[in-house]
Structure 1
Amino acid sequence: MKIKRAFCFSICAVFVLTSVFTACNSSKKKGSTETPTSGIIKISADQTFEPIIDQEINVFEGLYPTANIIPVYTDEVEAITALIQDSVRLAVTTRRLSQEEIKVLNARKLFPKEVKIATDGVALIVNKQNPDTLITMDQLRRILTGEVTDWKQIYPKSKLGKLQLVFDNPNSSTVRYAIDSICAGKPLSKNLNAQDNNENVIDYVSKVPNAIGVIGASWIGNKNDSTRLSFSDRITVMGVSRDDVAYPSNSYQPYQAYLAMGLYPLTRDVYIITTDPKSGLPSGFTTFVSSDKGQRIILKTGIVPATQAIRIVNVRENL
């Protein structure tokens, strides 16, 4: 009898230990598992694209309830810095990585992938009381560099006085775009006004008659207009001309069709950059944003998706 009891006790002990070990292993695997459609990640994005990324995340998490994507909206410099420092494995930007940045990542055994997801427009907005709503690229360039500081210098009959140029953030993608693509590398005026984010720029311009705001095109849409053929009634969106003189016949506002056709002068590409080595949730989210469903979300925000076709309509009578 004693031998049998000892034998039974040994079997039970082995069974209990095996069960505990299996449970611990199972728990460990469950806690660390990440797939293209499950897990928890933090991503970084230029605040310019907050309206778009929020919608993409909401739909993605609705389709995949075990996925949790935490966005950190910041300026473009910080978004890319977080990626390079491996604080995040996905960033949304308007520029590709430099060769030096790629080398730094490669040295850490990280090999970035860049996927174009959209074409965005940089919108110029003015107060509703401002009657001067057309501007040329040359005039804009002179405003940005500080050569033009008063409304009378471009509109002799203007009574608005000193011109205030307003950006979202000193390190934002719109500031970099202004320096690189509009001013050809020349420094911007020291009298620029930064309002921290795009929403604050809209609020500021809506209250200050002599201001010009520079923001992303996805922020200017009329939320009550599903066709995206009208802009926010809080501000006026300027028409921009490539020529020396701004007339309605050759000036364009950042409507989706004009962005797609290349008629609006202030356009830029939008990228998702990932450093995901194991095809996990960052890769899954990137695939979703690039898919038909993800691209249709971008289509509805008023900018141009990278792969989704858009319908061209005549909106010139609004100028």
Structure 2
Amino acid sequence: MNKISFRRLITLSGAIILISGVFSGCGSNSNQKVLDTTTSGEINISVDETFEPIVQAELDVFHAIYLTAKIKAHYKSEGDVINDLITDSARAIVVTRELTPAELKPLQDKKLVVRSTKFAIDAIALIINPANTDSTFSMPNLRDIFSGTISNWNELDKANANEDITVVFDNPNSSTVRYMKEMAGKNQFSAKNFFALKTNKEVIEYVSKHKNALGIIGVNWISDSDDSTATGFLKKIKVGAIAPDDGQPGSGEYRKPYQAYIAQGFYPLVRRVYVLSRESHMGLGTGFAAFVAGDKGQRIVLKSGLVPARMPIRLIQISDNNLFQ
């Protein structure tokens, strides 16, 4: 081999070693941040505790399809969930409303855009003890109960027991508390006969043991007829039926929160469910939002007993003994 060829070989070898050293150094940098994609990576999300059953069902299927994705869900009250999005403790959240201008401002100050994806229509269910003989409520009745005008069961019907109505919520900062305050036009509830526990499960357990209790929960906890937890809860309580205001769809008829009545607008206590994401790139939060609003995700919503936001459903004739006794 002549000198020129040998010198070129040495130069080429040095270049190869240098280049490989650069890539090796990059690969060994443990502090390098690897961005997630729409179907891979690891993120935290915060979820309104009311929707734990449906969100967990969605996550189970999502993780089964996308094996390199890991979404860790934290179930909290609505107030805590929204705070997590604002403070960047969660990349995405599941809630029942859009953010207010005041909540959006700190995000907008950071040039962040919050993207909203509606994926379900939910209902608030009234639950009572099986020993309670009154299980029907008009909307005026409910406003009177939650405004404090009515506080005894026999004020609804003289045949009812002469007992105070104890209204039980899941959490003082929950979306159900906020919803019922707005329904009643109240900023606060009376401390006399209103109190909050911590979770929907605790509300169900309390109502099952106290005859005079009126529990307020998300229907998601009792609507899936194939879920053993939901059917177990239904054995412990009764579900109340509500008549809408005069002039509203379904007025004059008392109906329970069946999927068909929610879809038709005949059951009055309904709300939308959203995924809100603060991601500045096409990340895992964006991917999960697209999944729950897509075909597979909407079928999971349908099976759960809620109403899909983006998928037509077929209405069938139902009888009152199908699910909620």
Tell me if 1:93 matches 2:95.
yes
Aligned length: 313
Q: Structure 1 vs Structure 2: percent identity of aligned residues?
A: 40
Give the structure 2 partner of residue 310 of structure 1.
313
SS of the residue corresponding to residue 234 of structure 2 reads: coil
Deviation at 1:99, TM superposition (A): 1.8
Deviation at 1:186, TM superposition (A): 4.4
Deviates more, 1:34-43 or 1:16-25: 16-25
SS of the residue corresponding to residue 124 of structure 2 reads: strand
Deviation at 1:183, TM superposition (A): 1.0
Match of 2:180 among 178, 181, 188: 178
Q: Is the 8 A contact 2:147 2:185 kept in 1?
A: no
Deviation at 1:264, TM superposition (A): 0.2
Deviates more, 1:232-241 or 1:67-76: 232-241
Give the structure 1 partner of residue 34 of structure 2.
32
Q: What code does the residue aligned with 1:217 have?
A: V
Deviation at 1:307, TM superposition (A): 1.1
Q: Is the 8 A contact 2:176 2:218 kept in 1?
A: yes
Q: Is the 8 A contact 2:245 2:251 kept in 1?
A: no
Deviation at 1:313, TM superposition (A): 2.0
Q: Is the 8 A contact 1:145 1:186 kept in 2?
A: no
Measure, in 1, the Cα distance between the counterparts of 2:187 and 2:102.
Answer: 22
Match of 2:204 among 202, 205, 228: 202
Q: Residues 312 and 155 of structure 1: is their aligned pair in 2 closer, same or farther, counting only changes over 3 Å?
A: same
Measure, in 2, the Cα distance between the counterparts of 1:281 and 1:177.
Answer: 30
Deviation at 1:222, TM superposition (A): 5.5
Tell me if 1:283 matches 2:290.
no
Q: What code does the residue aligned with 1:276 have?
A: E
Match of 1:76 among 75, 78, 92: 78
Deviation at 1:53, TM superposition (A): 0.7
- TM-score, normalization by structure 1: 0.89
1:124-135 counterparts in 2 under 5 A?
A: 124-135=126-137
Measure, in 2, the Cα distance between the counterparts of 1:253 and 1:284.
Answer: 34
Match of 1:271 among 271, 274, 278: 274
Give the structure 2 partner of residue 23 of structure 1.
24
Q: Residues 59 and 317 of structure 1: is their aligned pair in 2 closer, same or farther, counting only changes over 3 Å?
A: closer
Measure, in 2, the Cα distance between the counterparts of 1:19 and 1:249.
Answer: 78
Deviation at 1:104, TM superposition (A): 1.9
Deviates more, 1:214-223 or 1:266-275: 214-223
Q: Is the 8 A contact 2:224 2:303 kept in 1?
A: no
Q: Is the 8 A contact 1:221 1:232 kept in 2?
A: no
Measure, in 1, the Cα distance between the counterparts of 2:320 and 2:89.
Answer: 48
Measure, in 1, the Cα distance between the counterparts of 2:125 and 2:119.
Answer: 19
Q: Alpha-carbon deviations, 1:204-227, whole Å to 9, x = none?
A: 11111110100001112354479x
SS of the residue corresponding to residue 144 of structure 2 reads: helix
Measure, in 2, the Cα distance between the counterparts of 1:14 and 1:109.
Answer: 43
Q: What code does the residue aligned with 1:98 have?
A: T
Deviation at 1:161, TM superposition (A): 1.1
Measure, in 2, the Cα distance between the counterparts of 1:19 and 1:174.
Answer: 59
Deviation at 1:125, TM superposition (A): 0.3
Give the structure 1 partner of residue 258 of structure 2.
255
Tell me if 1:190 matches 2:209.
no
Give the structure 1 partner of residue 141 of structure 2.
139
Q: Alpha-carbon deviations, 1:150-203, whole Å to 9, x = none?
A: 1111121222612110000000000010111x1124432223121201111111
Q: What code does the residue aligned with 2:256 have?
A: Q
Q: Alpha-carbon deviations, 1:215-269, whole Å to 9, x = none?
A: 001112354479x99982221100001248xx99611100000000000010011
- TM-score, normalization by structure 2: 0.87
